[in-house]
Copies of this chain bind each other. A is one copy, B any other.
Amino acid sequence: MYASSMEKEENNTVCPLKYALNLVGGKWKLPIICILAREESVRYNSLKRKLVGITNMMLSQSLKELEENGIVHREQYNEIPPRVEYSLTKEGRSILEPLESLSEWGKIHMDKLRTQSPYCGECREVK
Q: Contact at B91–A112, with CB atoms within 8 Å? A: yes
Cβ of A20 < 8 Å from any Cβ of B? yes
A-to-B contact residues, CB < 8 Å: 14-21, 23, 30, 69-70, 91, 94-95, 97-107, 109-110, 112-113
| Tally of this chain's copies | 2
Instruction: Determine the main DSSP class of A at the interface with B.
Output: helix
Tell which of B18, B30, B91, B101 touches A101, judged by Cβ atoms closer than 8 Å: B101
Residues of B within 8 A of A113 (CB): 69-70
Tell which of B30, B69, B98, B112 touches A104, judged by Cβ atoms closer than 8 Å: B98
Q: Contact at B16–A30, with CB atoms within 8 Å? A: no
Closest partner residue, chain B, to A6 (CB atom): B113
Closest CB pairs A-B (n = 3): A16-B106, A20-B106, A17-B103
Q: Contact at B70–A110, with CB atoms within 8 Å? A: no
